[in-house]
Amino acid sequence: MSKHGMIKTPEDIAILREGGKILATILKEVGDAIVPGVTTKYLDTLAETLIREQGAIPSFLNYTPEGAKTAYPGTLCVSVNDEVVHGIPGERVLEDGDIVDIDLGLEYQGLFVDMAMAVPIGEVDASAKKLLMATREALEAGIRVARAGNTLGDIGYAIEGKVRGYGFTVVEELGGHGVGYAPHEEPHIANYGEQGKGMKLKAGMVLAIEPIVNEGTRFVKLLPDGYTFVTRDHKRSAQFEHTILITDGDAEILTKGS
């Protein structure tokens, strides 16, 4: 079967399943290393080391996504507080009360998986706790309706509904995507939508579902570094992401870990 189609072969799915387990284990370890006083660069180095130890390759490092002018310089995206996505690792020191989104992709035996989570440091305020809960539940809601016969619109509708129920907003410029043969593939998966609209899902599709949720306004801006998005009102943002396999029943979460 074509290496370019949206439907993955059983052999490729078996590899993606292994890669997904590796990624989930590594992201958890990086998450556990998020404590006051560490720099975002430290987390990036840890992620790269753990990936290479598994015989895998960081898939964001030196990758140039569509529309970007330069290659991404890190292994990990680390987006703190009002940073929405694609924060570049550096000398920033993490502090008690921060919420930290870590987004990581790897290539294992030629196939790509992608995962993200938001991690609170120490005691965060009530709104931050609610933001993380809403974003995690939005991901779960999106995954619940991600099955053959449903549509991309069903996923977006489920995610947006959950987010709105909490009084938060969905970033419309950013969303999920196909994944597997490349770090980003068709289709784009909006985190809002109408039930029954958009592309129909088929068994064998592999999708990265990633609600990106703001505490205040949905509007974001891109910093001059060309990668980091921040909220326009500087309120906080959170992201959770899984790579999933579409089946005729419940989706299989490939980045679930063991």
For residue 187, say if its preceding peptide bond is cis, omega within 30 degrees of 0: yes
Distance, in Å, from the CA atom of 26 to the CA atom of 172, rounded to the nearest integer, reads 29
158 vs 208, beta carbon nearer Mg ion: 208
Site stretch for Mg ion (CB under 5 A), options 24-32, 142-150, 200-208, 244-252: 200-208
38 vs 57, beta carbon nearer Mg ion: 57
82 vs 114, beta carbon nearer Mg ion: 114
98 vs 114, beta carbon nearer Mg ion: 114
Q: How far is the CB of 122 from Mg ion (least distance, A)?
A: 27
What is the DSSP code (8-state) at residue 85?
Answer: E
User: How far, rounded to the nearest angstrom, does the alpha carbon of residue 112 sit from its chain's CA centroid?
Assistant: 13
147 vs 177, beta carbon nearer Mg ion: 177
- Give the residue carrying structure tokens 């370019």: 4
3-class secondary-structure state, position 73: coil
Q: If binding is defined by CB under 5 A, does position 208 make contact with Mg ion?
A: yes
Q: If binding is defined by CB under 5 A, does position 76 make contact with Mg ion?
A: no
CA distances from 129 to 43, 142, 166, 237 (A): 22, 20, 12, 12
120 vs 175, beta carbon nearer Mg ion: 175
Q: How far is the CB of 126 from Mg ion (least distance, A)?
A: 28
Site stretch for Mg ion (CB under 5 A), options 47-55, 150-158, 204-212, 229-237: 204-212
**Residue 27 β-bridge partners:** none
Q: How far is the CB of 175 from Mg ion (least distance, A)?
A: 9
| Residues 89-118 contacting Mg ion, CB under 5 A | 114
Phi-psi region of 43 (alpha: psi -120 to 50; beta: other; left: phi over 0): alpha
Query: Six-digit token pair at 142?
Result: 């999106």
User: Is 215:233 a contact under the CB 8 Å cutoff?
Assistant: no
Q: If binding is defined by CB under 5 A, does position 212 make contact with Mg ion?
A: no
Give the total of residues touching Mg ion (CB under 5 A). Answer: 2
| Residues 114-173 contacting Mg ion, CB under 5 A | 114
Q: How far is the CB of 176 from Mg ion (least distance, A)?
A: 6
Write the DSSP string, 183-197.
Answer: SSEEEEE-SS--TT-
Distance, in Å, from the CA atom of 27 to the CA atom of 46, rounded to the nearest integer, reads 10
Q: Which residues of this protein are in contact with Mg ion, per CB under 5 A?
A: 114, 208
